[in-house]
Amino acid sequence: EVVLTQSPGTLSLSPGERATLSCRASQGVSSYLAWYQQKPGQAPRLLIYDASNRATGIPARFSGSGSGTDFTLTISSLEPEDFAVYYCQQRGNWPITFGQGTRLEIK
Amino acid sequence: EVHLVESGGGLVKPGGSLRLSCAASGFTFSTYSMNWVRLAPGKGLEWVSSIISTRRSSSDYIYYADSVKGRFTISRDNAKNSLYLQMNSLRAEDTAVYYCARDSAPYGDYHTFDSWGQGTLVTVSS
């Protein structure tokens, strides 16, 4: 099973700042990595698929990069609505696995 | 607009059973692979099960996480646009919000989840 390790566990930033979230896989998953955002009491929302492709309706401030074992989600300038928990998920190796999440909180 | 609505959650004793349902609308349900994903208290998301729709066969392929294999059964009724999860021999560690989630494209096992329901809470406790 591929273990996805997200860092940091919690990230404290202010609106307008740049956020960089990391996801590291225990073995290569090619580019088969997605990022999701989840707010309390809400369903997860797909942000990025196949490492770098924005999902429909996702603002351009969200971008993804990486391949193999190291991936990054970048939010170029934080908006108030971006403070949430972010999960990475891989589909490159069976079974599908998620990271443990990064909580992005307002500083 | 894609709409997924889960139901059937509740409080159940260890060893008990529950059947979750997910009502789908806004897309051609029969052509999409569907999934169950759960979020346990204080933990991250965990994939539970997938039912894969393919062009080549009228039969669906089914997969389970090891943690639920032999206890949970995923199924679908395309005539009713509904997905199900029969959960037997429930354990305390199955306590979670259960989400149904749609694959991102029809006819395949893309395992990227582009639409989610709001979830239904399952609590396993004596």
Q: Each residue of B3-15: pLDDT tens digit?
A: 999 999 999 999 9
Instruction: Label residue B58 by pLDDT band (50, 70, 90).
Output: low
Facing residue for B44 by CB, picked from A42, A50, A99:
A99
Instruction: Label residue A34 by pLDDT band (50, 70, 90).
Output: very high
Burial class (CB in 10 A: 0-12, 13-18, 19+), A14: exposed
Residue B116 in contact with residue B3, Cβ under 8 Å? no
Which range has the worst mean pLDDT, A38-47, B48-57, B64-73, B78-87?
B48-57
A55 touches B: beta carbon within 8 Å: yes
The most distant pair of C-alpha atoms in chain B lies apart, rounded to whole Å, by 46
A95 touches B: beta carbon within 8 Å: yes
| Beta bridge partners of residue B6, listed in sequence order | B22
CA distance to partner chain A, nearest, from residue B95 (Å): 16
CA-to-CA distance for B41 and B38, rounded, in angstroms?
Answer: 10
Facing residue for A98 by CB, picked from B47, B112, B118:
B47
pLDDT at B109 over 90: no
8 Å CB contact of B112 and A91: yes
pLDDT at B27 over 80: yes
CA-to-CA distance for B114 and B8, rounded, in angstroms?
Answer: 23
CA-to-CA distance for A46 and A49, rounded, in angstroms?
Answer: 8
State the best of B5, B112, B118 to mutate against chain A, taking most chain A CBs within 10 Å.
B112
**Which pLDDT belongs to residue B57?**
62
pLDDT at B55 over 80: no
Give the chain A residue whose CA is nearest to the CA of B114.
A46
What percentage of chain A reaches a pLDDT higher than 70? Answer: 100
8 Å CB contact of B113 and A45: no
